[in-house]
Amino acid sequence: MGSSPNSKPKIVRGTAGYVLEDVPHLADYIPDTPTYTNPLQNNPAYSVVKQYFVHVDDSVPQKIITNKDSPRGIHFRRAGPRQRVYFEADDVQAAIVTCGGLCPGLNTVIREIVCALYHMYGVKKVLGINGGYKGFYAHNTISLTPKSVNDIHKRGGTILGSSRGGHDTTKIVDSIQDRGINQVFIIGGDGTQRGADRIFEEIRRRRLKVAVVGIPKTIDNDIPVIDKSFGFDTAVEEAQRAINAAHVEAESGENGIGVVKLMGRYSGFIAMYATLASRDVDCCLIPESPFHLEGPGGLFEFAERRLKENGHMVIVIAEGAGQELVSESIQSMHKQDASGNKLLQDVGLWISQKIKEHFSRQKTMNINLKYIDPTYMIRAVPSNASDNVYCTLLAQSAVHGAMAGYTGFTSGLVNGRQTYIPFYRIIEGQNKVVITDRMWARLLSSTNQPSFTIAKTISEEKREDEATGEQ
């Protein structure tokens, strides 16, 4: 065995500041790998499509807003079928695993990977790994066929089961090797993609002919680079039902307040989009935008004003919002889940309690507060029509990439195009709501809620000025 294969990013530079952040390929560390004609060439469904195969040099820009002097910038390899493939159908032993929390669309992705492998490439051996990463070494596998997955997209959850924790790279790669698996499709969020990267690196170190492919899953939409994650649209749509209920309850009671908690551990995308879509929300609180309760520009002052004006109000709060305030009043235990994610305090219950205490102290208004926590109900539904189409494209792109010998990549949508993104770009950070962007400004203008940060900064500056005697 030669020296350790190079795991540095593959960067290709072109003219006018063009940069391709390329993905690894099996041929990078296994020279002279034989190639075969892509069977899609003879498939009647696809052979009629003009230019069905993606040109080897096609790439997709990460930034599409440019001006006449800007360099062409970073690009990702365009996804899709290639003229030559690196696997013969009979030699493929594929495996699919789902990890982390649930998300609408998981079953659709599983179904479409199985169907793409069978119907496009004639691959007959597809294994489902039960129960997430630990399933590679601690559980049984199930055989997946187009027949067995035929109607699973109509169900929520994942037919394979999922889990947190249990990522043991050596045991997982040993199991991949022992079972003769040569294409691994790993569906999961940021933690899962980190795990997939470790598996890929170990496979490359052992110089195995195994394509490792990630499909990004996160209901929170917190994976960077990609336009949005599958299941996000469904989650926003489902959240409307909870917001509607909160609105009906709030409107029907005297000084009614409806509080809805939505998911979003570090990123408030579901809360922001659900608020923008609903138009019934008076205040949206997300982790990226700190808020305060008491004093000028605080939530209580705003709630009093809204109740006086409208007689009711709806508050949407993302589960990760205001955690620093919650831990000030509840003893934080700094607990983590099996994957190392921070376990959050229930901010919905906490804020409901705080609002009730405030109004009972004030004695100026009797309020009627109803708290709705639909979080797990939202996560457990099957994906809607647009997410189903999105899942299909992600799954088919993943299969085309693996068959073409690409590895160590995540299949993702960038500026509306399917691409292959190297793992290191997917795991380098988290996608967050940028509160200085136009989208958050749109939200603020639609709810008319205070911009807590600005109000707090101004009132703090005013206090400091008063203390120093400045005007």
Ligand X SMILES: O=P(O)(O)OC[C@H]1O[C@](O)(COP(=O)(O)O)[C@@H](O)[C@@H]1O
* Residue 220 within binding range of ligand X, rule CB under 6 A: yes
In this chain, which of 131, 132, 188, 189 binds Mg ion, going by CB under 5 A? 189
Q: Which does 263 bind (CB under 5 to 8 A by kind): Mg ion, ligand ADP, ligand X, none?
A: ligand X
Give the number of other Cβ atoms within 10 Å of residue 82's Cβ.
19
> Of 93-101, 112-120, 279-287, 379-387, which segment contacts ligand ADP by CB under 6 A?
93-101
Considering only residues 144 through 163, tell me which ones interact with ligand ADP, judged by CB under 6 A.
163
DSSP 151: T
* Residue 100 within binding range of ligand ADP, rule CB under 6 A: yes
Phi-psi region of 80 (alpha: psi -120 to 50; beta: other; left: phi over 0): left
* Residue 238 within binding range of ligand X, rule CB under 6 A: no
In this chain, which of 116, 129, 225, 263 binds ligand X, going by CB under 6 A? 263
Catalytic: 220?
Answer: yes
Phi, psi of 65 (to 5 degrees): -90, 115
Cβ at position 344, least distance to Mg ion in Å: 13
In this chain, which of 157, 189, 374, 408 binds ligand X, going by CB under 6 A? 189
Closest residue to ligand X: CB criterion: 101
Taking Cα atoms as reference points, which of 413, 459, 126, 77 lies closest to residue 294? 459
Considering only residues 191 through 220, tell me which ones interact with Mg ion, judged by CB under 5 A.
191
Coil, strand or helix at 128: strand
Binding mask 168-197 for ligand ADP (x = CB under 6 A): --------------------xxxxx-xx--
Q: Which does 195 bind (CB under 5 to 8 A by kind): ligand ADP, Mg ion, ligand X, none?
A: ligand ADP
> How far apart, in whole angstroms, are the C-alpha atoms of residue 208 and residue 203?
6
> How far apart, in whole angstroms, are the C-alpha atoms of residue 108 and residue 111?
5
Tokens of 240: 């409307």
Give the number of other Cβ atoms within 10 Å of residue 316's Cβ.
31
Q: Which does 265 bind (CB under 5 to 8 A by kind): ligand X, ligand ADP, Mg ion, none?
A: ligand X
Q: Is there a contact between 383 and 231 (Cβ–Cβ < 8 Å)? A: yes
User: Site for ligand ADP (CB under 6 A): how many residues?
Assistant: 21
> How far apart, in whole angstroms, are the C-alpha atoms of residue 173 and residue 158?
23
DSSP 25: B
* Residue 133 within binding range of ligand ADP, rule CB under 6 A: yes
Could you write out the DSSP letters of every residue in 277-311?
HHS--SEEE-TTS---SSSTTSHHHHHHHHHHHHS
* Residue 99 within binding range of ligand ADP, rule CB under 6 A: yes
Beta bridge partners of 336: 342
* Residue 190 within binding range of Mg ion, rule CB under 5 A: yes
Whose structure tokens read 């790998």?
A: 33
State the binding site. Answer: 101, 164-165, 189-192, 218-220, 263-265, 319, 376-379
The residues that touch ligand X, with contacts defined as CB under 6 A, are 100-101, 189, 218-220, 263-265, 319, 337, 379
The residues that touch Mg ion, with contacts defined as CB under 5 A, are 189-191
Which residues belong to the active site?
220
The residues that touch ligand ADP, with contacts defined as CB under 6 A, are 99-101, 132-133, 163-167, 188-192, 194-195, 198, 218, 339, 341
